[in-house]
């Protein structure tokens, strides 16, 4: 049986629903999104319900996670960033759990759909824009002209900066989507080689499958971490105009 | 819960970040240029060429920026 390695990403409507011409059918991705939310919520609520002074396994894992997200926010945004803790923790947990649940054979990786990652990244970027204009008003447009730009370069810098600003949500979305898709395609190709190779040579791609699976496990964490830390960075840029760059020089 | 402390994975994360920084700016620049060509001005192909060049510059700038944030080890 030959199957395209991209077959795993195809979605068919399980429960076709149409709302005023909009296709809001329930498909595999939707169901797995619910599962991800349920698993993440149940695990975190279970871990949080104990509230012991000496934490058990679950509680200490959850405390580590909260502490990790907290220090990530404090490092990039400072104290005033803590009001975004719920947003960033939610993003981090959702992406982490959907990456991890996607690694279970037979399940579905929600983050391998570019629409999911694109919605996340554009919402985050929209929040950072709204926040920037709320805090700084028209001065926020100053991000388009980096500090220390000579006057004659300004007409050239503005289009470049506009592109680099628009590229931020695009790269955020593409990065997560491409990593998840590429990893799962690689696993599918290697495993179909294992099946095709049989006992004689099939052990070689199978060894690679196991190795790549381990790597994908790490990538699941890294991608969740990168997505949330870049969210922090972008929101932090809205707080402090040019803050980071002046320190860097 | 701190996979980013592992140097292999931290490096991998950084590498992936910079590569997509370059790519995304190129896509956005080319796309904006192409949109200018087709919908605003009738200037095919110059808008797209200019957009790609600006996108390349912006991508390098973004990659440079994320390199500046490189954690000091």
> Is residue B71 pLDDT above 70, yes or no?
no
Q: Answer whether A18 touches B (CB < 8 Å).
A: no
Contact of A136 with chain B, judged by CB distance below 8 Å, is answered with no
Cα-based torsion angle of the residue sequence A182, A188, A190, A192 in order, rounded to the nearest 10 degrees: -160
Q: Does B67 touch chain A (CB under 8 A)?
A: no
Q: Does A178 touch chain B (CB under 8 A)?
A: yes
CA dist., res. B6 & res. A215, Å (int) = 13
- Selection from B11, B30, B25, B29 nearest residue B65 by Cα: B25
Please give the pLDDT value at position A92: 93
A241 in Cβ contact with B32 (< 8 Å):
no
Instruction: Report the number of distinct structural domains present in chain B.
Output: 1
Cβ–Cβ below 8 Å for B59 and A167:
yes
Q: Is the CB of B13 less than 8 angstroms away from the CB of A159? A: no
Q: Would you state the pLDDT for residue A130?
A: 92
Q: pLDDT at position A107, please? A: 87
Which tokens sit at A134?
A: 């709320």
Please indicate whether, in this complex, the C-beta atoms of A244 and B9 are within 8 angstroms of each other.
Answer: no
Domain that holds residue B33: 16-68
Which pLDDT belongs to residue A42?
92
Phi then psi dihedrals of residue A223, to 5 deg: -65, -40
Closest CA to B72 of B14, B1, B18: B14
All residues of chain B having their beta carbon less than 8 Å from the beta carbon of residue A248 are: 68-69
Test B27 with A170 for CB contact under 8 angstroms: yes
What pLDDT is stored for residue B21 in this prediction? 86
Residues in chain B within 8 Å Cβ distance of A64: 1-2
Query: Is B2 part of a structural domain of the chain?
Result: no
Q: Render chain A in DSSP notation, one character per residue.
A: ----TTGGG---EEE--EETTEE--EEHHHHHHHHHHHHHHHHHHHHHHH--SS--HHHHHHHHHHHHHHHHHHHHH-GGGGGGHHHHHHHHHHHHHHHHHHTSTT---GGGSHHHHHHHHHHHHHHHHHHHHHHHGGGGGGGGS-TT--GGGHHHHHHHHHHHHHHHHHHHHHHHHHHHHHHHHHHHHHHHHHHHHHHHHTHHHHHHHHHHHHHHHHHHHHHHHHHHHHHHHHHHHHHSTTHHHHHH-
Establish if B53 belongs to a structural domain.
yes
Classify residue B20: in a domain, yes or no. Answer: yes
Predicted pLDDT at A247: 44
- What gap in Å lies between CA A96 and CA A225, rounded to an integer? 8
Q: Which of residues 29-68 of A touch B (CB under 8 A)?
A: 61, 64-65, 68
Asked if A118 has any chain B CB less than 8 Å from its own CB, the reply is no
Contacts of A170 in chain B (CB under 8 A): 24, 27-28
pLDDT at B3: 45
Q: What is the pLDDT of residue B9?
A: 65
**Average per-residue pLDDT for chain B:** 79
Query: Which of B47, B56, B58 is the best residue to mutate to test the A interface, defined by the most A CB atoms within 10 Å of its own CB?
Result: B58
Report how far apart, in Å, the C-alpha atoms of B20 and of each of A165, A169, A181 are: 14, 11, 14
In the stretch 196-225 of chain A, residues with CB closer than 8 A to chain B read 218-219, 221-222, 225
Block means of pLDDT (10 residues each) for chain A, 249 residues, are 74 80 84 92 85 80 88 85 90 93 89 92 93 87 80 86 89 90 91 86 90 91 89 85 50
Q: What is the DSSP letter of B73?
A: -
Alpha carbon of A168: minimum distance to chain B alpha carbons (Å)? 8
**Average pLDDT rounded to a whole number, residues B28-56:** 87
Whether the pLDDT of residue B1 is over 60: the answer is: no
- Distance, in Å, from the CA atom of A177 to the CA atom of A158, rounded to the nearest integer, reads 29
Task: State the pLDDT confidence band at B62, using cuts at 50, 70 and 90.
Answer: confident
Q: Which of B6, B13, B28 is closest, CB to CB, to A167?
A: B28
Interface of B with A in 17-46 (CB under 8 A): 17, 20-21, 23-25, 27-29, 32
Is residue B64 over pLDDT 50? yes
Name the band, by pLDDT with cuts 50, 70 and 90, for residue B19.
confident
pLDDT of residue B53: 92
Residue of B nearest to A164 (CA): B58
Nearest Cα to A238, choosing from A165, A160, A162, A151?
A165
């Amino acid at each position: 049986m030959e199957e395209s390695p991209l077959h795993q990403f195809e979605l068919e409507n399980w429960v076709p629903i149409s709302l005023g011409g909009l296709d809001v059918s329930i498909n595999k991705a939707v169901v797995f999104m619910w599962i991800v939310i349920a698993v993440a919520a149940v695990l975190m609520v279970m871990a949080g319900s104990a509230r012991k002074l000496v934490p058990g396994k679950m509680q200490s894992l959850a405390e580590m996670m909260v502490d990790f997200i907290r220090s990530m926010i404090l490092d990039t945004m400072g104290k005033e960033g803590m009001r975004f803790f719920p947003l960033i923790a939610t993003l981090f947990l959702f992406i982490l759990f959907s990456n991890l649940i996607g690694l279970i054979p037979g399940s579905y990786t929600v983050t391998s759909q570019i629409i999911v990652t694109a919605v996340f990244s554009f919402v985050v970027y929209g929040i950072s824009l709204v926040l920037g204009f709320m805090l700084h008003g028209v001065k926020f447009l100053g991000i388009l002209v980096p500090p220390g730009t000579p006057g004659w370069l300004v007409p050239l810098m503005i289009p470049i900066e506009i592109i680099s600003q628009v590229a931020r949500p695009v790269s955020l979305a593409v990065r997560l989507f491409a990593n998840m898709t590429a990893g799962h395609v690689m696993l599918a190709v290697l495993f179909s080689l294992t099946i095709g190779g049989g006992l004689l040579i099939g052990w070689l791609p199978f060894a690679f499958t196991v190795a790549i699976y381990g790597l994908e496990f790490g990538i699941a964490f890294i991608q969740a971490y990168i997505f949330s830390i870049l969210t922090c960075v972008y929101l932090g840029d809205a707080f402090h105009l040019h803050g980071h760059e002046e320190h860097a020089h | 819960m701190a996979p980013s402390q592992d140097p292999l994975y931290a490096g991998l994360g950084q590498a992936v970040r910079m590569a997509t920084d370059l790519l995304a700016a190129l896509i956005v620049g080319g796309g904006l240029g192409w949109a200018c060509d087709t919908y605003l001005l009738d200037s095919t192909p110059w808008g797209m060429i200019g957009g790609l060049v600006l996108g390349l510059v912006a991508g390098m700038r973004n990659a440079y920026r994320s390199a500046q944030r490189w954690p000091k080890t």
